[in-house]
Structure 1
Amino acid sequence: MFGGNRNNNNNRDSLSTVMTPDNPPKKSGGGGSSVTGFDPEGLERAAKAARELDASRNASQAIELIKTQEVTKQHEAAAKRAEMEAYAQQQRAQNIEREAEEARKTLDAQTQHERHRAEYMDELERKRQVDMLNAQKYMQEEQLKKQEEMVARQEEMRRKTAEHEAALKTKMELAKAQAEADGRIRQERQNHDLILEKMRQEAMERRDTVLKSIQDAGKLIGEGLQSYLDDTTKLRNTALTVTGIAVGVYTARTSIGVAGRFVEARLGKPSLVRETSRFSVGQALRQPVPTFQRLLGMNKETDALKGIVLNPSLETQLSKIAVSTANTKKNNAPFRHLLLHGAPGTGKTMFARGLAHHSGLDYAILTGGDIAPLGRDAVTELHKLFDWAKTSRRGLLVFVDEADAFLQNREVTKISEDQRNALNAFLFRTGTESNQFMMVYASNQPNQFDPALLDRVDEMVEFDLPGVEERRQMIAMYIDKYLLNPPGRAKKVITEGIGTNEIEEVVKLTEGFSGRAISKLAIAWQAAAYGTAGAVLDRETFFQTVEHHKQSMLTKDQWLLEAEKRALLLTADA
């Protein structure tokens, strides 16, 4: 093998020696050129090399090797062509991507250009519309100005025409009046003598007629009076008749006044009293059976705290006051005066009524706001009230609601002279202890009372807003009263989805509510239920009513604060 390779190498070398251009063919004939220009030495050398190659043992292998090299070169050329084709394909793909990117950028640029162009056209259109509207507005304003100027000119012409017509009319009226006056003057001057003579004759006739009438009347009266004076019997009877009539009139007036004052003091009701349990004809006609039972003493004593829910300490204090008042009446001892103060709707009026019923007293309710408007009559009405109170056989509990509206401090509050006189009269009638009447005052602002009135108060009781337990009891009581077992023929309310948990939630939501507010809340529940077809109160309506009620209370409180601020400002200005 090695020898063959060397032979092949030698052959290649010999071929390269023959074929390479570095060995140019030697010129025959001593270096001369052919006549035709063709050098046959190259062919000879090639023929010689071919003969040598054919004579060599490795000639076939050399040929195979040459073929193999040729095939390898062809494969390399094919690989290079494939590589060049792949590169060309990649270049075409990149060209396509670049073209696509350029197309996308061009499209974006065209889109943006179109958008800018549309925006610009829209802006131009809006500007054109604005200009058109401004032009229309300007034209309308100009037209309106022209119309106003035309109307003004027409009005000016009408006014001038009216003035001219009025001036002409005035001149005509003056001329007419002047002509008529001149005519009457001429007529009066022509008939002056006749008119004077006529008036003279009429005056003489009236004088004669009056004188004749006076003479006849005097003669008739004189004759009658002379005849009456000559008859002594007629004179005596006339004197007795006049005297009897005068005595009868005086006696009747005096008797009627005394009887009227007695009836008013016993059976009537003073104008200041808003409500009373004392007997009256009107009350007897409206409620005959309870009235006569009370007159005959058939009514049973009731608990003073019936229907009132209070905290335990306040309930104990009021129970002691009720027992003490009942025993005071039984022993005919002087009554003690009370002051009930606290927030509105906490049960002050209810306790006053219950105290009167429990102790066997009659009660009368009046408000402090009714006294100030009476002016000078307030003193008289107050005396009538206390005179009427002293005539009660059972004793009278006088309950003055909103007492601070009338019994204000005279040293701090500016009150009128009539209010001051009324306050002095009230203090005079309540200055001494009495076993005939008991005073109970109720107020939301006890600090405004006159010191003299506070000196007449024997015991003060503060009514606080109900706590959690009191609210729970009140809500249960009013639900039973207005929803489950309403009074009279009222329809029962059907509750859906309302149980103990809902009631406990309402107890929390009603913090700050008074007893009256809780009662109104129950009435609102009843009204909400009656607003449905079957008088049904569901859970949602139940809580919505509570929220609406709370919002209403907040609004009222805001109004009260604003009113107090205004009052303070007015006081400061004064």
Structure 2
Amino acid sequence: MELRHKHEMLRVEAEARARAKAERENADIIREQIRLKAAEHRQTVLESIRTAGTLFGEGFRAFVTDWDKVTATVAGLTLLAVGVYSAKNATAVTGRFIEARLGKPSLVRATSRITVLEALRHPIQVSRRLLSRPQDALEGVVLSPSLEARVRDIAIATRNTKKNGGLYRHILLYGPPGTGKTLFAKKLALHSGMDYAIMTGGDVAPMGREGVTAMHKLFDWASTSRRGLLLFMDEADAFLRKRASAGTFSLQEEINNDLRATLNAFLYHMGQHSNKFMLVLASNLPEQFDCAINSRIDVMVHFDLPQQEERERLVRMYFDNYVLKPATEGKRLHLVVWDPQSWLAHLGTPSPGA
């Protein structure tokens, strides 16, 4: 077995040496075959290129010399380009038309404007809204006598503008929060027979580069209103801040490029008075507005905190609506007796000295 194993190993070794020797001797022949195949392939490709170039040249020469073919080709390419361009623009216009009438812009939080989808979903409610009569601009709004007279003049002027198809004025309502600015804006729209849309300035800054597109969509949507639209922007100072502070380069006082571009788009639409929409801005800090905003505002109204007389009227109105009226209609009032011990137990055991 040992001799047989040695003999087998010698045979394998001899075969390997013979195979390696044959490969070394045939390497030159293999390289020559590869070179010949490459040269033949190269020649074939060159011949194909020459043939194609000859055919193309003859075809192009025949095409150029035949003016009827040239004219037909140019006309066909022109019609194709016009068709592609028209289809692209038509698609964009159709998309904007559908978006403006079937939905509302992303910046609008609430609106009284009736869309096609809303009419299909709630036909009875929509019919009631369409048949409802205009409300008094100060119904349910408690203001001081001087302020009430001022805003009533604005309501009368706005309603006359709506009837005569004139250009609406832009209004700024400023003062402490909770003084009735938003409520008056809604009442003003309903009194004038207009729709209202409510947005907030704090929603514009986080949009970044999309802010310009969203702002154009907002005003395009407002321009399609048939009844006229009162666009109310709450917390307007969060968006309409100064684009740059004079004499300073503080990063805290200078807005970024995206917000500046959005503000420029807003100023463009605000600078053009329209018979389709009016702007009503509300702010607690109007001194932070950009100077271009102040130059485009037509009316400024200051809403101050209610005094003692107005607060008594507010309490009386609350009592009439939520206590007296339900009692006269036979509704039971549920009263909760306040127990300080149970309240302290709910909060937990008080600490010493609390």
| Distance in 1 between residues matched to 2:294 and 2:102, nearest whole Å | 32
Deviation at 1:415, TM superposition (A): 1.7
Partner of 1:248: 83
Partner of 1:332: 165
Partner of 1:540: 338
| Distance in 1 between residues matched to 2:325 and 2:211, nearest whole Å | 41
Name the count of aligned residue pairs: 310
1:499-514 matches, cutoff 5 A: none
Give the letter for the 1:204 counterpart: L
TM-score between both structures, scaled by the size of structure 2:
0.66
Q: Is 1:215–2:47 an aligned residue pair? A: yes
Structure 1 pair 244–459 and aligned structure 2 pair: CA distance change class (3 A): closer
Q: Is 1:358–2:191 an aligned residue pair? A: yes
| Distance in 1 between residues matched to 2:258 and 2:112, nearest whole Å | 30
Deviation at 1:440, TM superposition (A): 0.9
1:379-458 matches, cutoff 5 A: 379-409=212-242, 410-411=244-245, 413-431=253-271, 433-455=273-295, 456-458=297-299
Partner of 2:119: 284
Give the letter for the 1:202 counterpart: I
| Distance in 1 between residues matched to 2:68 and 2:325, nearest whole Å | 82
| Distance in 1 between residues matched to 2:327 and 2:57, nearest whole Å | 89
Give the letter for the 2:189 counterpart: A
Partner of 1:527: none
1:128-147 matches, cutoff 5 A: none
Deviation at 1:402, TM superposition (A): 0.9
Give the letter for the 1:382 counterpart: M
3-state secondary structure, aligned to 2:186: helix
3-state secondary structure, aligned to 1:302: coil
Structure 1 pair 225–213 and aligned structure 2 pair: CA distance change class (3 A): same
Deviation at 1:431, TM superposition (A): 3.8
Q: CA contact under 8 A between 2:172 and 2:280: conserved in structure 1?
A: yes
Q: CA contact under 8 A between 2:179 and 2:304: conserved in structure 1?
A: yes
Identity among equivalent pairs (%): 41
Structure 1 pair 543–370 and aligned structure 2 pair: CA distance change class (3 A): farther
Structure 2: runs of 5+ lacking an equivalent? 1-18, 247-252, 347-354
Give the letter for the 1:467 counterpart: R
Q: What is the CA deviation profile of residues 434-483 of structure 1, one whole-angstrom value per residue up to 9, with x for unaligned ones?
A: 44422211123333233443342413131536735424533664579999
Q: CA contact under 8 A between 1:335 and 1:437: conserved in structure 2?
A: yes
Deviation at 1:299, TM superposition (A): 3.6
3-state secondary structure, aligned to 1:540: coil
| Distance in 2 between residues matched to 1:291 and 1:277, nearest whole Å | 10
Deviation at 1:418, TM superposition (A): 3.6
Q: What is the CA deviation profile of residues 24-44 of structure 1, one whole-angstrom value per residue up to 9, with x for unaligned ones?
A: xxxxxxxxxxxxxxxxxxxxx
3-state secondary structure, aligned to 1:419: helix
Structure 1: runs of 5+ lacking an equivalent? 1-186, 486-491, 499-537, 549-574
| Distance in 1 between residues matched to 2:20 and 2:202, nearest whole Å | 74
Q: Is 1:202–2:34 an aligned residue pair? A: yes
TM-score between both structures, scaled by the size of structure 1:
0.44
Q: CA contact under 8 A between 1:341 and 1:461: conserved in structure 2?
A: yes
Structure 1 pair 249–426 and aligned structure 2 pair: CA distance change class (3 A): closer
Q: CA contact under 8 A between 1:398 and 1:439: conserved in structure 2?
A: yes
Give the letter for the 2:160 counterpart: N
Deviation at 1:397, TM superposition (A): 0.9
Structure 1 pair 280–197 and aligned structure 2 pair: CA distance change class (3 A): farther
| Distance in 2 between residues matched to 1:188 and 1:344, nearest whole Å | 96
Q: CA contact under 8 A between 1:311 and 1:470: conserved in structure 2?
A: no
The structure in which a higher percent of residues are helix is 1
Deviation at 1:406, TM superposition (A): 0.9
Q: CA contact under 8 A between 2:168 and 2:275: conserved in structure 1?
A: yes
Structure 1 pair 451–226 and aligned structure 2 pair: CA distance change class (3 A): closer
Q: What is the CA deviation profile of residues 171-201 of structure 1, one whole-angstrom value per residue up to 9, with x for unaligned ones?
A: xxxxxxxxxxxxxxxx999966655654453
3-state secondary structure, aligned to 2:196: strand
| Distance in 2 between residues matched to 1:225 and 1:291, nearest whole Å | 71
1:70-219 matches, cutoff 5 A: 197-213=29-45, 215-216=47-48, 219=51
Which of 142, 145, 150 pairs up with 1:310? 142
Deviation at 1:381, TM superposition (A): 4.0
Give the letter for the 1:249 counterpart: V
Q: What RMSD, in angstroms, separates the aligned Cα atoms of the two structures? A: 4.5
| Distance in 1 between residues matched to 2:209 and 2:282, nearest whole Å | 25
Q: What is the CA deviation profile of residues 120-146 of structure 1, one whole-angstrom value per residue up to 9, with x for unaligned ones?
A: xxxxxxxxxxxxxxxxxxxxxxxxxxx
| Distance in 1 between residues matched to 2:342 and 2:279, nearest whole Å | 43
Bigger radius of gyration among the two? 1
3-state secondary structure, aligned to 1:398: strand
Structure 1 pair 424–217 and aligned structure 2 pair: CA distance change class (3 A): closer
